[in-house]
Structure 1
Amino acid sequence: MQVGQDLIASIREEIDRLHRGRTDLAGQSEDVTSRLRPRFTHAGLELRHCTSGRADADVDPHRVTQILVNLLRNALAATPSGGTVTVTTSRAGPSGS
């Protein structure tokens, strides 16, 4: 049983590596917030995006978009009218360049 679980975990890790690439998370989060901003406006909310510049990371951009969309949909549902939701991106740690 454990061998099968280990094999599945290894396959998932390999698949994740295949989709990874250098991505600017600040730009990606700006794109997502721009697309969802009309929904927030319609609900009487303000959606802000703050960044201190590029925030490059080796990630799967599709998964990051899914995560951001899910978090923002949750924020939309949980924030009372008149509220503000802010997405902030910044670079932390070594730049890798």
Structure 2
Amino acid sequence: MMWYDGGWGWGGWFAMAVFMVLFWALIIAGVIALVRYLAGPRHHQDSGPHPLNGEPRWGSRRAEDVLAERFARGEIDDDEYVRRLALLREHR
């Protein structure tokens, strides 16, 4: 008995494999794009306090926190930290 593949040969199998990979890549990319679209903008930062509890919102940082981090990293000395902290609290 002779096996007959309809004339496709190895090229047909290779083409089907390539198109299958492309098909699933498009499906996965479409799902990721849809999820990102429905999730909305992530990097929206509001500098004002939260309306319910008055604390800073996610993504916003208080100036005192940034100043404390700079002091902890050693970017500023203790005199400059105290001076800038007093200035921040004075203008609050």
The TM-score range, normalised by the shorter chain, is under 0.3
More helix by share: 2
More strand by share: 1
- TM normalised by structure 2 equals 0.27
Higher relative contact order (CA 8 A, sep 6+): 1
